[in-house]
A and B are shown apart, each in its own frame.
With several copies, the nearest count.
Chain A
Amino acid sequence: MAKLETKIGGLTLKNPVLTASGTFGYGTEFSEFIDLSRLGGYIIKGTTLNPREGNPYPRMAETPSGMLNCVGLQNKGVHYLKDHIYPNIKDIDSCLIVNLSGSTVEDYAEAAEIIGTMDKVQAIELNISCPNVKQGGMAFGTTTQGVEQVVSAVRKAYNKTLIVKLSPNVTSITDMALAAEAAGADSVSLINTLMGMAIDAERRKPLLSMVTGGLSGPCVKPVALRCVWQVAKAVKIPVVGLGGIMNATDAIEFFLAGATAIEIGTANFIDPETTVKVVDGINEYLDRHNFKSITEIIGQLEV
């Protein structure tokens, strides 16, 4: 058994497998399929200061080796989270991380402060890259000034681990990562969804209510790997990699490219047991290749 422990900022994860926000609900939806305590951590649904109804139906379309969604951050707000959801999930023996979205810098900071009052929440993943709502933070995530502004504000309001989630829909994701690092992020996670679109040719209508949506699944893996590779070379803080990871081999590719931990998103829909299977598969890989610890392969791509 190799050592799977890994660190993100001040946070020690028992293993490097996290769940991707928006694909794993509040974790409890999967408790009949897996033992949640086997997760390195679980990142819950995107949360905003105030409740949001999200976008109209239809919100989903299947695409070649992937899917588009335009859920649009439907959630009941951070207060509801604290009062009604947090009590039910806080004692899961894993690392609880809240994914935070917003429309204004002030909203982000205020919500972050409230999240800071939930003891068992060990980190915020700051979503500045949601492509599905006009004010979903994507505007912040596409300029270095925007990144600095919102990350600095949240950094002031929140003193536990701060992971900034980056969008691939930019000319240089490395610039965004550097800006997040400079503004005090403990880590960056990437990638959020690629902006895409799907059309029903017969009916001549878009398949999504918002016309465009976020692409995820195996189809985006090559782009995600490239982003992780570029960013991991540029920043000093740990990188959390995600995008199309379906199995342990995919996860290993992200570690080799430089990820310190990984997140599993869309794969949960195909096989709700993916996360724990990936934990097992990483172990098997490390053993088979005689590595003693996951840290021995991080960034070890031979180029």
Chain B
Amino acid sequence: MKKQLNLKVENLKKITEQHILLSLVAPNGDMPEIKAGQFVEVKVDNAPTVFLRRPISVHFVDYAKQRLDLLVALVGDGTRKMATLSVGDEVSVLLPLGNGFPMPTKAGAKCLLVGGGVGIAPLLYLGDRLKAAGHQVSFLLGARNAGGVMLEDEFKKFGSLYLTTEDGSVGEKGFVTNHSILEKEQFDEIFVCGPTPMMKAVAKYAYAKNIECYVSLENKMACGLGACLCCVTEDNKGHNRCVCSEGPVFNINELPWQN
């Protein structure tokens, strides 16, 4: 059930120079059921240059505490304004939006969760859900350099963690697709979120190895509800599909990425 809720800022933590972890709680205990891979639309107040809501992935949910965590990269006026919120401030949020990552049908599936940049955001909650469902979780996260590597301890709670940095300062050097784990291990399913070139590269690997692979796409959104058709992506049949309501998670077999 989609809702518009006024959540309260419980905590705002600077993770890197460019990233914040925003913890919001539902004061009335009405946090809806959320699937990993779903997102929320955040209203940004007091920002004259920000008109539309901002789509942000669900990073983590703690139902006991009625808490929703968002991992936000500070890229423009909207996200930078979010970083000025204070504990106790109210934030209007539409949630949950979009379709989450599908859970593997095979029991105890070996799952690889690949993230790049702030694309790691939805993978923590996905790791939690997969682990809780009895699957095996490996995270493969890529960053530019050591400064971009975030929240390692959090991810380790739910699975093994493999890292790459472009400058080799942490983990293996190169892009995620260069990581040796891709050769060493055979995965049943891959879940990816990050920059499009990275997702396409991972998809290429998955196509080649014939591994079930889901990617979470980004796009400019106005409504987040499937109503305005602003956020489309072209599928492999040449049809325009809504990223917000038909995605943001797509099976790579639906996308025109094969070649």
B222 within 8 A of A: yes
Contact partners of B3 in chain A: CB under 8 A? 32-33
Q: Contacts A54-B229, A74-B240, A268-B227: A32 and B2 contacting too (C-beta < 8 A)?
A: yes
Contact partners of B238 in chain A: CB under 8 A? 53
Surface stretch bound by B, among A144-152, A185-193, A269-277: A269-277
Contact A29 B51 (CB under 8 A): no
Contact A30 B225 (CB under 8 A): yes
Which of A22, A60, A66, A271 is close to B4, meaning CB atoms less than 8 Å apart? Answer: A271
State in angstroms the CA–CA spacing of A57 and B245 once bound together.
16
Q: Contacts A59-B232, A61-B220, A74-B240: A33 and B227 contacting too (C-beta < 8 A)?
A: no
Per-residue A-contact encoding for B224-235, CB less than 8 Å = 1, 0 else: 111111111110
A159 within 8 A of B: no
B106 within 8 A of A: no
Contact B4 A33 (CB under 8 A): yes
A87 within 8 A of B: no
Contact A30 B227 (CB under 8 A): yes
State in angstroms the CA–CA spacing of A167 and B238 once bound together.
31
Contact partners of B49 in chain A: CB under 8 A? 64
B213 within 8 A of A: no
Contact A269 B231 (CB under 8 A): no
State in angstroms the CA–CA spacing of A65 and B50 once bound together.
8
Distance between B43 CB and nearest chain A CB, rounded to angstroms: 7
State in angstroms the CA–CA spacing of A25 and B4 once bound together.
18
Contact partners of B51 in chain A: CB under 8 A? 62-67, 217-218, 270
Distance between A52 CB and nearest chain B CB, rounded to angstroms: 10
A278 within 8 A of B: no
B223 within 8 A of A: yes
Q: Contacts A60-B220, A60-B221: A22 and B232 contacting too (C-beta < 8 A)?
A: no
B1 within 8 A of A: yes
Per-residue B-contact encoding for A266-296, CB less than 8 Å = 1, 0 else: 1011111100000000000000000000000
Contact B225 A71 (CB under 8 A): no
Residue of B nearest to A53 (CB): B240
B239 within 8 A of A: yes
Contact partners of B43 in chain A: CB under 8 A? 270-271
Contact partners of B31 in chain A: CB under 8 A? none
What are 30 inter-chain pairs, A to B, with CB distance below 8 A? Answer: A23-B223, A23-B228, A24-B227, A25-B225, A25-B228, A30-B225, A30-B227, A33-B3, A53-B240, A54-B240, A56-B234, A57-B233, A59-B220, A59-B229, A59-B231, A60-B220, A60-B222, A60-B230, A62-B50, A63-B51, A64-B49, A69-B222, A218-B51, A268-B223, A268-B227, A269-B223, A270-B52, A271-B4, A271-B43, A272-B223
Residues of A that sit less than 8 Å from B by CB:
22-25, 29-30, 32-33, 45, 53-54, 56-67, 69, 71, 74, 217-218, 266, 268-273
Residues of B that sit less than 8 Å from A by CB:
1-4, 43, 48-53, 92, 94, 219-234, 238-240, 245
